[in-house]
Structure formats: C-alpha cells, structure tokens
C-alpha cells in the first residue's frame, strides 16, 4: 500500500494550543508566577500584557506574603492565603489566553510565540466551527459566536477585564450576539454557559479579545 498523504486542507486546520501546566502546590505556583513575570516582562511578541506585569507582580507578592504567614499557624491565615491565590491564578490564566490569541493571529509563528512565554504546545486538529469565538465587527464592538448546543438552549454571557471579576451581559437563545460599548485598545475576556432542558453547563473557558 502507498504512503498516506495528509491533504493541505487538513494541515491548515491544525492549531497549536497553549498548555499551561499551572502548579497546584502553593510554593510551586510562586516559582511559576515569577517565571511568567520574567518572560512576559521581556516579551517581544506581547508588548502590553493584560493584566500588566506590575499588577501580576503585586498579586504574586500578596500571595507569597500570605503563604509565608501561614507558617505562623495563626487561625485564619490559611483562608487569607487562599483568597489571595484566586486573583493570581486568574491573572496567569489571562496571560495564557492572550498568548493563545496572539498565536492564533500569527499561525506561522504560533509555536515560537507559545514557547517564548514558557508554555508547552500541542497541535490539534480543529473543525471549521469553533465552540466559542469572538470576532471584530465595528469599532468598539465584538461579535460573540457560540456553537449551537441544540434547540431551546439559553445562553448566559459574561465579560471581564481581568479574568477574575465578571459582569453579566445579555443572555438569550441566540448563538450570535453583538456586544457594543467596548473601549478601543482595551483587552477583554468573555465566557458563556448554556442551559437546556433544566441542565446547566459549567462556564466555558474564557477567550481573549482586543477591542479596536
């Protein structure tokens, strides 16, 4: 039998994905965060990380201090550490989403962009229709497109500028929604969840969008 040939069309459908590998252990997360701050601070691909390096550095310092204080074994300090951990993890997830978006905009350099920020990469085949995407429309607007979950499905949508604090935007039964009022040059994050037949999905992975 002859050697199987992968068509050019199928090759074009591969997409390098960011693999975060964010540690769950607190001390390892501090080391991970320090590494990301160094890489994003010197990035030649992303000139304006969102959140900023200054913001993430502050979040890391707050978490690192809270983690050190836990050793004092005072009641309540572990809860303070856990509260400080959430915004740091959210900020680091935002950075990963921004790297993914940047890689998607530059397919020829996608792997280099991902690896330059300290992430592993994995190439996957993707369908022509993504599960959830954000597209540019008019200035100050974003077209949010959800792959249908079936008839009679209600979609909730949320917006964030930091990946931690979320605000509800319009919910309806439509797969396409144009959201306006965005500030050009500002980065946003969007997510959704679907309700059908009384069953509600988890919130989707959020996607990054730079308004123009």
Q: Are 189 and 160 in contact (CB under 8 A)?
A: yes
Q: Examine residue 14 and say whether the peptide bond preceding it is cis (omega within 30 degrees of 0).
A: no
Q: Take residue 31 and report the two structure tokens written for it.
A: 């080391």
- Averaged pLDDT in 10-residue chunks for the chain of 212 residues: 40 77 95 98 94 96 96 89 94 92 92 97 75 89 95 96 90 96 91 94 90 88
Cα–Cα distance for residue pair 93/165, rounded to 1 Å: 13
What pLDDT sits at residue 14?
78
Cα–Cα distance for residue pair 134/145, rounded to 1 Å: 6
What pLDDT sits at residue 145?
95
Q: Take residue 201 and report the two structure tokens written for it.
A: 């999905």
What pLDDT sits at residue 206?
85
What pLDDT sits at residue 8?
39
What pLDDT sits at residue 3?
41
- Cα 38 to Cα 86, 137, 176, 212: the distances in Å are 21, 34, 38, 28
Q: Take residue 48 and report the two structure tokens written for it.
A: 């304006």
What pLDDT sits at residue 129?
66
Going along the chain from its start, the domains and CATH numbers come out as 21-124 (no CATH), 132-210 (2.60.40.10)
Candidates 186, 190, 185; CA nearest to 203 is 190
Cα–Cα distance for residue pair 101/14, rounded to 1 Å: 15
Q: What is the pTM of this model?
A: 0.74
What pLDDT sits at residue 164?
82
What pLDDT sits at residue 185?
86
What pLDDT sits at residue 205?
85
Q: What share of the chain is helix, strand, coil (3-state, %, to 5)?
A: 35, 25, 35
């Amino acid at each position: 039998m002859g050697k199987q040939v992968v068509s050019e069309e199928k090759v074009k459908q591969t997409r390098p994905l960011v693999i975060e590998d964010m540690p769950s252990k607190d001390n390892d997360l501090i080391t991970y965060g320090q590494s990301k701050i160094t890489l994003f601070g010197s990035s030649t691909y992303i000139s304006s990380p969102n959140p900023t390096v200054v913001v993430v550095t502050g979040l890391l310092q707050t978490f690192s201090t809270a983690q050190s204080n836990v050793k004092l074994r005072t009641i309540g300090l572990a809860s303070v550490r856990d509260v400080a951990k959430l915004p740091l993890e959210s900020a680091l997830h935002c950075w990963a989403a921004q790297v993914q978006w940047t890689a998607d905009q530059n397919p020829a350099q996608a792997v280099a962009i991902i690896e330059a920020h300290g992430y592993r990469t994995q190439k996957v085949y993707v369908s022509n229709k993504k599960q959830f995407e954000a597209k540019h429309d008019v200035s100050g607007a974003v077209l949010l497109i959800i792959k249908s979950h079936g008839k009679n499905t209600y979609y909730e949508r949320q917006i964030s500028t930091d990946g931690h604090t979320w605000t509800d935007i319009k919910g309806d039964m439509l797969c396409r929604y144009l959201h306006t009022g965005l500030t050009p040059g500002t980065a946003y994050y969007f997510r959704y969840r679907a309700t059908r037949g009384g069953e509600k999905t988890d919130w989707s992975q959020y996607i990054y969008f730079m308004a123009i």
